[in-house]
Structure 1
Amino acid sequence: MKNGQVKEPIHKKWIWIVLALITLGIVPWYFPAAATEPYILGFPLWAFISTIFSIILCGYLSWLCVNEWNIVEDQEEADKAKGDKG
């Protein structure tokens, strides 16, 4: 834990804004129904874009867990481990 600081990402608005934008990108609602579908690497364009945004979402959530999530439970478990050893 960095500097013993507890960080709860649920209170940070920018996290939710980015999450909402990525989620909107995953759902291909913005493609017109009458549009011709070009294929990229064998996938329809909408599926390719949805897959790319899904990968971005996975990376973003992983980054959040590693860098933005320092909760009290981590400190409690560390204190408990010290108590068990001593």
Structure 2
Amino acid sequence: MKEPIKNKKIWLGFLVIFIMLNPWYFPSGGEPVLIYGVPLWAIVIIIMSIVLSLYITYVIHYHWDTLDEEENGEEK
């Protein structure tokens, strides 16, 4: 299992999430779109924060080499 820092696909995923996390792509000015009284840009930020958390969990669980750390913990 490779370390995630060397996997370019993982970094591409982080890049896409961070681009979507910053709502610079919403039009400026005008009346904001509200959903149940919450601006759409705030909902997008909340959803993308959840996506980022799930993605980090996925990377740690499936791409991080934790075998050495688990073995070291058992030897002590």
Identity of aligned residues (%): 36
- TM-score, L = length of structure 1: 0.75
Partner residue of 2:74?
81
Partner residue of 1:3?
none
Deviation at 1:42, TM superposition (A): 2.6
Question: Unaligned regions of 5+ residues in structure 2, if any?
Answer: none
Greater Rg by CA: 1
Aligned residues: 76
Report the Cα distance in structure 1 between the residues aligned to 2:72 and 2:46, rounded to whole angstroms: 42
- Against the structure 1 CA distance between its residues 77 and 49, is the aligned structure 2 distance closer, same or farther, given a 3 Å change threshold? closer
Equivalent AA in structure 2 for residue 70 of structure 1: D
Equivalent AA in structure 1 for residue 57 of structure 2: S
- Secondary structure, in 3 states, of the residue corresponding to 2:64? coil
Deviation at 1:48, TM superposition (A): 0.6
Provide the alpha-carbon RMSD of the alignment: 1.9
- TM-score, L = length of structure 2: 0.84
Question: Unaligned regions of 5+ residues in structure 1, if any?
Answer: 1-5
